Amino acid sequence: MFTYQFRWDVVPNNLHFIFSGMQMTLILSATTLAIAMVLGLVIAVLSMARPWPLRAFGVGFGELIRNTPVLVQLLWVYYVLPIFFEFRIDAVTAVIIGLSIYSSSFIAEAYRAGIQAVPQGHREAAQVLGLNQAQTFRRIVLPQAIRVTLPPLAANFVQLIKYSSLGAVLSVGEVTRKGMELSSSTFRPLEIFTFIAVLYFFICWPLSMSIRAWETRLARR
């Protein structure tokens, strides 16, 4: 028989504590997204560059990051990087660096797909009319590429919200870590982790749904 006695009052009693973790989660994800968007652009440009060493670096970096586990990358940044460079970084910085690198490799792919989705003919039409390369990129390629790239960027944000929970492993006080601490002090893991899962879901799900609606609208244009 299922005899577990639920004690849901641990949740409202510690709501402030849990929400401070959630705040950390969102700050981590947003910071990471901002950095990864810039880093991703650098990698995308490198992987499309003419000189082959640049291209090899861009493509190789992307492949390396996409084909190793993000948790291993985080542990590597936190424990190995300081040995190399002989300085300590705190856990929050390590998580931001690690997740930014991880995310940037996927964002770079989104950028690349977006830029390559613009037909060559659109560029040639601009060139024939006398627009220079910078004008062509800014006025013709970029506005079209951004439309294609925004949904995957938003999807990446959802990924980041979820992956930031890995920060718990490095004792970063985001919401999953707060849950772990709370459950060992109250002995109520079931209620706490259920609530935290639901919390994640109601942040990520609406985001995912709006991305899907957005993509459908773009496809119709």
Partner 1 sequence: MAAESAEPIIAADGLVKHFGPVRVLEGVSLALAERDVLCVIGPSGSGKTTLLRCCALLEAPTAGTIRMRGEVIAEPAPGPETERARRRVRADIGMVFQHFHLWPHMTVLENIIEAPRLVKGASREEAVAAAEALLAKVGLSDKRDVYPQRLSGGQQQRVAIARALAMNPKVMLFDEVTSALDPELRREVLLVMRQLAAEGMTMLVVTHEMNFARQVGSRVAFMDGGVIVEEGPPRDFFQRPRTERAQRFLAQFED
Tell me if 143 contacts partner 1 by CB under 8 A. yes
Helix axes 189-220, 175-186, angle to 10 degrees: 160
Tell me if 116 contacts partner 1 by CB under 8 A. no
Tell me if 119 contacts partner 1 by CB under 8 A. yes
Instruction: Output the smallest distance, CB 185 to partner 1, in A.
Output: 55
Cα dist from 166 to 61, 80, 91, 171, whole Å: 22, 17, 11, 9
- Considering only residues 49, 70, 89, 140, which one is a binding residue for partner 1 as defined by CB under 8 A? 140
Distance CA 39, CA 21 (A): 26
- Considering only residues 16, 83, 219, 221, which one is a binding residue for partner 1 as defined by CB under 8 A? 221
Contacts with partner 1 by CB under 8 A: the residue count is: 18
Which two structure tokens, joined as six digits, stand for 15?
């709501």
Tell me if 217 contacts partner 1 by CB under 8 A. no
Neighbours of 165 (CB within 10 A): 18
Interacting residue ranges for partner 1, rule: CB under 8 A: 119, 121-122, 124-131, 135, 139-140, 143-144, 147, 221
